[in-house]
Amino acid sequence: MTGSICVVGAGATGIRLVERIRANAARASSRRPLEVHLVDPDAPPPGAVSPDPQSPGLRIHLHRAGAIDLAGRRVLLDDGTRVDTDAVVLAQGWPGVLPSAREQELRRFAHEQGLYYRPAGHVADRPLEQVAGGEPVLAIGLGSVLADVLTRLTVARGGRFRHGSDGELIYHPSGREPLVHVGSVRGVPPHCQVGYRLTGERPPPPRFVRRAGEGARDFRAQVWPLVAKDLAYAYYHHLLTVHPDRTRVSWDAFADAFEAEEWDGRAMRALIRTAVPRFEDRLNFARLDRPLAGIRFGDLAGLQRWMHGYLSADLTRRADPSHSADLAMIHALRGVLDHLTGRVPDDPWFHRLARHAAGTLPAARIAELRALARARVVTFLGAETRVEPTRDGVWRATSATVPGAVTARAFIEARRPGPSLDRTRDPLLRRLYARGECAEESGRLKVSLPGHRIVDQNGTAHPHRFALGPWTTGGHPLSADDPAIRHADTLARTLLTAAADPRVARVA
């Protein structure tokens, strides 16, 4: 009898898992023949996941259809196909969600007043042609979705970027662009990606966070001090060993004193000030997380000058290997996230901080944003930005950073919607959730770890249903290759074991 595994989703997660199944199957000394079904309406061409010549007995079937339900381990597809399997893995990308109650309310307001409103989601989900050139538009979000929105409102309308004589990017408007006023909770975009490789010793593996008890409920009080200490340990280890000319003590002396002190206590702050004389060389998580906290400008012009300097400083620092301690901290951050996964509940604040600190935008995108701001196509609104409907029939934006308000007839929520199973657009997840066959935690699909088995609403992990990816509680927000491959490799071996037992009926 042939073994069978079904992987739902042919994105990066699904393809990686299929590759690890294939690699582990090739190393297996003895097993029954195996079929892998890869299900995705946008599946890649056959050559992208063709069977390995060194894996005799393994066949990969591509189904360009959507998975709409599960009955036991039978996967029902929207083209009428039924796939009976030994194990099912949900490896979709971030599932879309239906509008929230607030979004529905804002949609009604926009319709009644003849305004433009684009709720959270990918750019392709809503047309932007209705946004008039030369008119103000409000946007919430400063990440990758905004970058795509700005491309469609600028370059796609005839504007162009070019490099000036000093090498910096300049934007030449076409005159058809709207005047985009942007803000967010943090008020600044995520840091740009680092443009160099790490040199010197690898950052020390997590050590302090291992003292956190499994299942700790208060992340900020019980876990964060240990996480911060691990990240700072890696940061200062790199700074003191690779850039000792900017420090006053040896690493050995610093490490002993650092380990003995509580994170961010008076003694530790004094130790860091003594060891690292320059303020810009010290790691400051509060400044990293909320650089605009406590800053208040008298007008928008003052904020724009500050933001232009902030973006320039970020581009410079992320391209300068003399600040490679930043990259050492990012490497440590990935290790900490990998260690915490499955041991303590996900903390949304920490995941947001991780994405912000690690850099989720290419440097080119930040340079384009700065150029658009200098061309006055983009105006920054600051931190804690809110957009609300008004009695005057327009959108009104305010922030904690500047006084006054900006009004417009167009409002774009330039961000991805938060995960939610009770509002998911995915028909398979919607049906499983309605029947209580899956559960959510902080909006994510709950899985048991380290096995990645889907957990139902009674807390029971299914023996033959699995899920993998950043939208599950087993995923984390950074695309670190090593942990992702390791998780996929471990799950692949589990799946091959399940498919190797011909005695288990596929109807359960």
Q: What is the pLDDT of residue 83?
A: 96
HEC readout, 192-246: ECCCCCCCCCCCCCCCCHHHCCCCCCCHHHHHHHHHHHHHHHHHHHHHHHHCHHH
Q: Output 466 or 33, whichever has higher pLDDT.
A: 466
Residue 243 has pLDDT above 60, yes or no: yes
Q: Would the pLDDT of 434 be above 80?
A: yes
Tokens 């973006």 found at: 311
Distance between CA atoms of residues 410 and 394, nearest Å: 8
pLDDT digits (tens, 9 = 90+) for 307-329: 999 999 999 999 999 999 999 99
- d(CA 474, CA 346) in angstroms, rounded, equals 9
Q: What is the pLDDT of residue 125?
A: 56
Per-residue pLDDT tens digits for 34-43: 999 999 998 7
Residue 51's pLDDT is 44
Q: Which two tokens stand for residue 461?
A: 């992990």
For residues 350 and 219, the answer to whether their CB atoms sit within 8 Å is yes
Of the candidates 16, 1, 21, the one whose C-alpha atom is nearest the C-alpha of residue 495 is: 21
What is the percentage of the chain residues whose pLDDT exceeds 90?
A: 74
In angstroms, the CA 491 to CA 450 distance is: 9
- CA-wise closest residue to 36 among 4, 70, 76, 9: 4
pLDDT beyond 80 at 214: no
Sign of CA dihedral 370, 376, 378, 383: positive
Kindly report which listed range (98-112, 198-212, 332-346) carries the lowest average pLDDT score. 332-346
Whether residue 481 is predicted with pLDDT greater than 60 in this model: the reply is no
pLDDT tens for each residue of 341-377 = 878 877 889 989 999 999 889 999 999 999 999 999 9
Name the 3-class secondary structure at 377: coil
Six token digits for residue 231: 């990240």
Q: Are 38 and 10 in contact (CB under 8 A)?
A: yes
Q: What is the mean pLDDT of the chain?
A: 91
Is a pLDDT exceeding 60 seen at residue 145? Answer: yes
pLDDT per residue as tens digits for the range 423-433: 899 999 999 99
pLDDT tens readout for residues 452-462: 999 999 999 99
Q: Does this model's pTM top 0.85?
A: yes
Which DSSP state fits 172?
Answer: E
How many alpha carbons fall within 13 Å on the CB side of residue 481? 0
10 Å Cβ neighbour count for 320?
A: 13
The whole-number average pLDDT for the span 282-300 is 96
Is residue 416 within 8 A of residue 121, CB to CB? The reply is yes
pLDDT at 27: 79
Please say if the pLDDT value at position 473 is more than 80: yes
Beta-carbon contacts of residue 486 (< 8 Å; ≥ 6 apart): 338
Amino acid identity for residue 322 in this structure? S
Whether 474 and 487 have beta carbons less than 8 Å apart is answered as: yes
Q: Which of 142, 95, 498, 169 has the alpha carbon at shortest distance from 307?
A: 142
Decide which of 355 and 44 is more confident.
355
